[in-house]
A = this chain, B = another copy of it.
Amino acid sequence: MKLGEIARKLNCTLQGPADLEISGVSGIEEASETELTFVSNPQYLPKLKTTRAAAVILSKGDKAPIPALISDNPYLTFAQAVELFYSPPTPIPGIHPTASLALSACVGENASIGANVAIGAGVRLGKNALLYPNVTIYPHAQIGDDFIAHSNSVVREYCQIGNRVILQNGAVIGSDGFGFAPRSDGSFYKIVQSGIVVIEDDVEIGANTCIDRASIGETRIAAGTKLDNLVQIGHGCRIGRHTIIAAQTGVAGSTQVGNQVVLAGQVGIAGHLKIGDRVIVTAQSGVGHSIEDGKKVSGSPEMDSTVWKKNYLLMQQFPELVRTLKQVKKDLDELKQKLESA
């Protein structure tokens, strides 16, 4: 594809020859002589001197030693450029003969329902649904348009899913929450998880991630939020809008997470807390208290990230500190003895 055509398709200003042939898109270090790359973080600008790339997507104002496409949002433009050069396999239209649909299930137009998909009674699926083989939709789930469910993902009974939601492989929406009432003999009585999961528009759920249904009421993932793989969301949680939850993070039951929050990988958050908007929790942190809007926390138990960093650096001095204290004690004792014997 010609660089000029790419510029036109992606609404970029072209700096350089329109007829430069581009074969694909790649990272700045991996790009070959016919590939397009991008710089969205100015700290990588120096790499433009050594890249082999044929052209680069840049912000307005950045100087390009090679042909460039100027964009307001180079990373977004890069994302769109990837699509120009990639063709995913075409979904097979229609319902595969091995799929099992309940008579009362209702599937919208233009669906692609793969082999061995099972859809229960009373299910409503919007238009353009793309269900890969071995997906299961339990009875009475209500699902919007443009739903993509990868193989082995599951939507449980009564759950509600908005438009343009994507479930990666093995994602579980609406498994039973972990709720048991102890009996006097030490055994546990299962609390029926009568609530549901609500997933709003434009949410993506990672592979083998589990979102538990509420005991009563609902567990909710608000619009635009993205969950990575192997994440656990406990029953009765509410995760806000445009929030990012990285892999292997767990949020215990009844916790509310705000909008535009970032939970990095392997974070744990205790139950019944309130995590404010725009909070950032760094990787492997353990959050045991509610957190105000806009804070950044680290550590387990968590503390302000700046404090945590300072403490961490002080910790490095710990062996030195022990030595100093021993010396001070020794000096003092000697001094006292000297004074007494004087």
* Residues in A lying within 8 Å of B, measured CB to CB: 24-27, 30, 72-73, 75-76, 78-80, 82-83, 85-86, 88-89, 96, 98, 100, 114-116, 118, 120-121, 132-134, 136, 138-140, 150-152, 154, 156-158, 166, 168-170, 172, 175-176, 178-184, 186-192, 194, 202, 204, 206-208, 210, 212, 215-217, 224, 226, 228-230, 232, 234, 241-242, 244, 246-248, 250, 252, 260, 265-266, 268, 270, 283-284, 286, 288, 300-301, 310-312, 314-315, 317-319, 321-322, 324-325, 328-329, 331-332, 335-336, 339
Contacts and interface: CB of A to CB of B under 8 A. Distances in A.
Contact of A168 (B30, B75, B176, B186): B176
B175 A172 contact: no
Contacts of A324: 325, 329
Given A82-B216, A89-B158, A311-B318, 18 more contacts: A26-B217, A73-B181, A76-B189, A79-B181, A89-B139, A89-B140, A98-B116, A152-B154, A169-B175, A170-B172, A178-B206, A178-B226, A178-B229, A210-B229, A232-B247, A234-B247, A250-B265, A335-B335
A103 B330 CA distance: 84
18 contacts: A30-B216, A82-B191, A85-B194, A89-B121, A89-B140, A118-B134, A134-B152, A152-B152, A190-B204, A210-B247, A234-B247, A247-B250, A250-B265, A250-B266, A268-B284, A314-B322, A315-B318, A331-B332
Nearest to A248: B250
Given A120-B89, A178-B226, A215 B82 contact: yes
A328 B268 CA distance: 40
Interface residues of A, dominant DSSP: loop
Contact of A187 (B27, B134, B154, B224): B224
Contact of A175 (B72, B98, B229, B331): B229
A276 to B, nearest CB: 15
Contacts of A215: 82
Contact of A86 (B25, B170, B194, B247): B194
